[in-house]
Structure 1
Amino acid sequence: MLRRGFAASPRIHANKPIGVAAALQAAKENSTGPVQPQLYDGFSLAGRVGVVSGGNRGLGLEMALTLAEAGAKVYALDLPTTPGEEFRAVQKYIERFDTGAKLEYVGGGVDVTDQKQVWDAVAEIGNKEQRMDIGIAAAGILHGAPGLQYPADEFQKVMSVNVNGVLHIAQAVGQQMERFKTAGSLILIASMSGSITNKDHAWVAYNTSKSAVLQMARSLACELGPQAIRVNSISPGHIYTSMTAAYLDTQPELYQKWAGLNPLGRLGRPDELRGVVAWLASDMSTFCTGSDILVSGGHHAW
């Protein structure tokens, strides 16, 4: 049961039948004439508000654009005080949409490891928009060192961003969902490295942090389910981004090695996560919570 006062997703109590129920209703009414398919309507995020951490570039920016293309107003949080050229190009692109969607950068920069700063920034968005529907925790860092000599400060830095930072975003967005009593979707970006070990890479801190994100999503999903707040994680495989480029651009042989580690024989592109992001953020996935969605080119399938 939904907790009293919380609004169910439109697809839970639809105003009109959908799917097979719609076809049966049409047969019962013996109606004729053109019928408008409803499938794509379920992916619409028109009028909804989303927050994306790590939204200045890379996967975060790709995901922010995905939400905007579905009609949402999107607020990007990231560490730089001002957004980069890539972000500004995407922002101008979205301004050309005729849908009411928008992409805004939370000025001054937001450090996801600072809980109060994150809570305050997202609360201000809530004050402005008077609703909150989607949260994507995409900020993350990668650092490697031999496990037996891993410096404590470097290990803690990875955990602070990749674990604490994800929790802070989930908390901040979830608080606003609770505040406005709306159903919502929290999407935590994990990694296939949370459930496997990357062959020949000493990434004990990164792998540990991503495993923690998987459990965080499951735990929050169980806790927040009664409030109709869904929590899922996405585990990308080897995707060519600005973060992985730091390794790959200086080691061409590593690029080929990573590409050969999955059945498709190539690295993924950031845009290949758009579909799963749109699905999890929308009413098309209202019975999905506590799940991890692998997008790894089949890396796990060998």
Structure 2
Amino acid sequence: MASQAQPQEPKPRLGPPTTTITDLFRLSSRTILITGGGGAVGLEVARSVLETGGDVICLDLAAHPLPDEWQRVQTTAETHHTKARYHTCDLTDPQALQSTFDHAVSQVRYPLRGLVTCHGLSAGGSSLDFPTSTVTKLLDVNITGTFAISQLCARELQRTNSAGSIVLFASMSAHVYNRGVDTAAYNASKAGIVQLARSLAGEWGSRPGTPLIRVNSVSPGYIRTRQTSETLSEPGMEKLWSEGNMLGRLSFADEYRGAVQYLLSDASSFVTGTDLRVDGGHTAW
């Protein structure tokens, strides 16, 4: 007679059910690493982490972060007794990335508990004439760079036996063709980010004997930043982009703070392998 299977022990929760909703969203005593941490979105995410008790490491290819935004980050850190550090780094250079990562992590006062990848490269043009060398560069930055920093963070979480959350920035361009701009290679790279998040979530979320690492992606809509200003100056482009979503406007960098904070924090303790579209309904028509 076949023996009955023994019931499995339930996995522990990240926090007790008595935790207040306010505390669920806090990132106290955690360090969060942010790539693209010198740009508008990355610096807004940094402020949110600092406001809720966490420290941040900002990595970016630029020698210096945006000055006004970085000053606001520093002011926020002083107000909330948290810390923000900035490091210049090329995610596509494995040796430089490893060295910068090791140096940055060696300086933290709280364990690394999260990653947000706000970096990205975009380029457009007719696919009949688009250089394959540019395709390679796009994939190297958007896919390989994201994979590399995610891998380093996951290894650090395993080394310290810490649960963590990884948030990868994809794009609505991962889901649709954007009218008015030809960006086939970019779109493909962002679709790859959505699949990368799902795949890493499956691999790192349920492996016995390893700390729980949740991995999700965020798909933003069009954002009004210095990077989009040139395209928006073209006749009719702002109207086309604005009318492409249900809210009839472009987004601002600070409108992604809530989504990222949710995915980083224990408020999303049962969320992994998910793509959160923050696109004003652009992909929901």
Q: Please say if residues 180 and 240 of structure 2, whose CA atoms lie closer than 8 Å, have aligned partners that are also in contact.
A: no
Whether contact under 8 Å (1:43, 1:284) holds in the other structure is: yes
Structure 1 residue 229 and structure 2 residue 209: aligned? no
CA distance in 2, matches of 1:197, 1:100: 44
User: What residue identity is the alignment partner of 2:215?
Assistant: V
> For structure 2, which runs of at least 5 residues remain unmatched after alignment?
1-10
> Structure 1 length as normaliser, TM-score?
0.85
1:131 aligns with 2:111: yes
Q: Which SS does the other structure have where 1:148 is aligned? A: coil
Query: TM-score, normalised on structure 2?
Result: 0.90
Write the distance in 2 (CA, Å) between the matches of 1:239 and 1:66. Answer: 18
Query: Gapped runs of 5+ residues in structure 1?
Result: 1-6, 20-37
Q: Distance in 1 between matches of 2:130 and 2:171?
A: 21
Of 254, 260, 273, the residue aligned with 2:243 is 260
- Give CA-to-partner distance per residue, 1:2-48, whole Å, 9 cap, x none: xxxxx96642xx2xx427xxxxxxxxxxxxxxxxxx11011111110
Amino-acid identity (%): 35
Please list the CA deviations of residues 137-179 of structure 1 after superposition, one character each: whole Å capped at 9, or x if unmatched.
1111110021122101111111111111111121121111111
- Name the structure 1 match of 2:265: 282
- Structure 1 position 103 matched with structure 2 position 84: yes
Checking the alignment, whether the CA contact within 8 Å between 2:222 and 2:279 is kept in structure 1 is yes
Contact in 1 for aligned 2:36/2:118 (Cα 8 Å): yes
Residues 1:217 and 2:202 aligned together: no
Whether the 8 Å contact between 1:8 and 1:183 is mirrored in structure 2 is no
User: Is residue 141 of structure 2 the alignment partner of residue 157 of structure 1?
Assistant: no
After superposition, the C-alpha distances for 1:71-127 in whole angstroms (9 at most, x for unaligned) are 110010001223331343123322331x33221101xx2001112322332222332
* Pairing 1:121–2:105 present: no
- Provide the aligned length of Structure 1 versus Structure 2: 270
* Alpha carbons 2:172, 2:279 under 8 Å: kept: yes
* 2:7 paired residue number: none
The residue type equivalent to 2:60 in the other structure is D
- Aligned to 1:258, what secondary structure does the other structure show? helix
CA distance in 2, matches of 1:256, 1:266: 8
Greater CA deviation, 143-152 or 47-56?
Answer: 143-152
SS in 2 for 1:209: helix
8 Å Cα contact 2:168/2:193 also seen in 1: yes
Residue type of the alignment partner of 1:163: I
The structure 2 residue matched to 1:51, chosen from 33, 38, 41, is 33
Residue 301 of structure 1 pairs with residue 284 of structure 2: yes
Q: Give the Cα separation in 2 of the matches to 1:91 and 1:282.
A: 20
Residue in structure 2 matched with residue 191 of structure 1 by the alignment: 171
| Structure 1 segment 85-100 matched on structure 2, within 5 A | 85-97=67-79, 99-100=80-81
Select the structure that is richer in helix.
1
Aligned residue identity for 1:195: H
> 1:147 is aligned with what amino acid?
S
Partner of 1:33: none
Q: Which of the residues 172, 181, 186 maps onto 2:161?
A: 181
Which one of the candidate residues 92, 97, 121 is aligned to 1:141? 121
SS for the counterpart of 1:242 is coil
Distance 1:163 1:237 in 2: 19
Alignment-derived partner of residue 253 in structure 2:
270
Q: Does the Cα contact within 8 Å between 2:32 and 2:54 map onto a contact in 1?
A: yes
**What value does the CA root-mean-square deviation take over the aligned residues?**
1.7
**Helix, strand or coil for the counterpart of 1:297?**
coil
SS in 1 for 2:34: strand
Partners of 2:228 and 2:51 lie apart in 1 by: 26
1:67 paired to 2:46: no
